[in-house]
Amino acid sequence: MTFKLLVVDDEAIMRKGIANFIDWDSLDCKVAGTAGNGMEAIEFIKASPVDIVITDIKMPVADGLAVAKFIYEHQPEIKVILLTGYADFEYAKTAIKYNVSAFILKPTNKKELMEAIQDAQKQIVTSRKQTSIAEEELAFLKDQLLLEMTGSAFLPSFEERLSNLGIRLDHYYVAAFQMVPLENDTAFLKSIILDGKKNACCYRYNNLIIAVYFLEGRCESVPDAVLENCREITVIARTLDSREVSVGISRYHSSASDFSYAVSEAIHALTFHFYYEKNIALFSDAPEDADYDLTAENSLDLFHFENHLHNWLFEDAGGVLHKIFNKFKSNFVNSADAKNICAQMYYICCRVLIKRENAAPPGEYLSRITQASDIFSLEHTVFELMAYTKDHFVGTAAQNKLFDHAVKFIHSHLSEPLSLEVLSDHLHISASHLSRTFKKVCGESLTEYINHVRIEKAKEYLLRQDILAYEVADLVGYHDATYFSSIFKKYTGVSPTEYRQGALKSNTPQQADGT
């Protein structure tokens, strides 16, 4: 969010200095106006929204205490910072009863003023978090309920909660939207889906957007209006953001108890979107004899596995495999279902290697999967398959191992100083060797990769309203807020403040949309 400031001082030089010669953008602030006395300030506050008022205490017509008193009585959400001289300090303390945020002695210290602003911002954020808007609460409750229904068995209590929230799941289709390549930045995609869509609601499910299309009555084939809407979304994303969007659409459903199955179908349809025109795949078009007994969670696990392989995150891919096999073992999953999921992993590895212009893994792995006599031999085969994929992904096994270690170190030390020298020291190799190997495997320099990772992480933090922009800078390793702002704008085209405003605006629920 951007905080609007009003600067009040009867000295023109002081007003100009505070208003114009502090990097307010780095603090998520904007000077909304200035005033030469307390009465001008009060009139400004009546006419224009303000978050923080910085005011001198001694001024003609009406002083700073009069401003603080007016704010306390009429707009107590505004924070007041009083500027006062030593002689007036005892007098200024009487303003404590007006909930003044901070007292700063003149001559004003820039560092002290900025710290007071940051403290006032935190007070405002905390206060606003405690006062939620009804529409936002309703949208949040809807998202949470649908998310809960996606990942668990249907409970009788869901029916009452659906009714209370005005959600009717008697005739509907579910569509899963995926950015290609898979990305965590889904706010832009969600804003497109919500824009003017009165018969749909959507929510984020990990790094996918799940949309529910409500129908007036029974409809066994996907309505043209739904297909056209999905096509519009893919075109808009490609036109405005140069990114591809894939869509998977479930079969028609007429019961709330089928919701998790519908989501699973939509996600699974994404796995064969490649064979469909305009990146829209229908689950109903799948071969009838195919075994698709997968939960939404299993489908999502496979997506994560493939995405990690594409992005050289082999350790993360291994973590997904451990998670999948732990679920197999703890739930005594049917052997045919377990083998079916593992066979899909084989084809994922095929796609990953072929895309890198390498040969697919030997068919022997698929034979061993289908003929595995127990869960332990199945697990051993799949991990061997991933090791084979990793070794043949690009270059030599040694290069891959070096790259893997470098990427792991970058992701786990993102807030710390990172450079070619730091990484080469950590990996105990020469800086030139690391630079050449990283560029060969990744296709971009180490510095560019670090900046990309930091900016992508910063985007995630900026979607959270409880973290201010200058705090985001520290969290991703840029310890100068002004430099962070410039490097962020270089990679995204907008400042951190503008990005947050756009993301929050795109996520603001529209009541007409049914969210």
Supply the pLDDT for residue 249: 92
Supply the pLDDT for residue 466: 81
| b/e map 197-222, b = 16+ CB within 10 Å | bebbbbbbbbbbbbbbbbbeeeeeeb
pLDDT higher than threshold 60 for residue 132: no
Supply the pLDDT for residue 292: 41
DSSP letter string, 81-110:
EEEE-GGGHHHHGGGGGGT--EEEESSPPH
pLDDT-based confidence at residue 173 (cuts at 50, 70, 90): very high
pLDDT-based confidence at residue 192 (cuts at 50, 70, 90): confident
When pLDDT is averaged across residues 35-48 and rounded to a whole number, the result is 96
Lowest mean pLDDT among 207-221, 273-287, 322-336, 351-365: 273-287
In the chain the domains, ranked by start, together with CATH numbers, are 3-130 (3.40.50.2300), 132-292 (3.30.70.270), 312-393 (no CATH), 397-506 (1.10.10.60)
When pLDDT is averaged across residues 121-126 and rounded to a whole number, the result is 86
Q: How far apart are CA 415 and CA 412, in angstroms?
A: 8
Lowest mean pLDDT among 128-142, 240-254, 314-328, 434-448: 128-142
Among residues 176, 175, 164, 150, the alpha carbon closest in space to that of 256 is found at 150
Token representation of residue 50: 């303000």
Supply the pLDDT for residue 66: 93
Residue that wins the pLDDT comparison between 438 and 418: 418
Residue that is written with structure tokens 């911002």 in the block? 121
Residue that wins the pLDDT comparison between 189 and 319: 319
Using a pLDDT cut of 90, give the percent of the chain over it: 33
Q: How far apart are CA 117 and CA 122, in angstroms?
A: 9
Average pLDDT over the chain reads: 83
Supply the pLDDT for residue 275: 46
Reduced to 3 states (helix: H, G, I; strand: E, B; else coil), residue 393 is coil
DSSP letter string, 326-384:
HHHHHHT--HHHHHHHHHHHHHHHHHHHHHTT-PPPPTHHHHHHHT-SSHHHHHHHHHH
Q: How far apart are CA 490 and CA 478, in angstroms?
A: 14
Among residues 305, 311, 300, the alpha carbon closest in space to that of 386 is found at 305
pLDDT higher than threshold 50 for residue 511: no
pLDDT-based confidence at residue 509 (cuts at 50, 70, 90): very low
pLDDT higher than threshold 90 for residue 406: no
When pLDDT is averaged across residues 358-382 and rounded to a whole number, the result is 89
Q: How far apart are CA 450 and CA 224, in angstroms?
A: 44
pLDDT-based confidence at residue 54 (cuts at 50, 70, 90): very high
pLDDT higher than threshold 80 for residue 134: no
Q: How far apart are CA 268 and CA 292, in angstroms?
A: 8
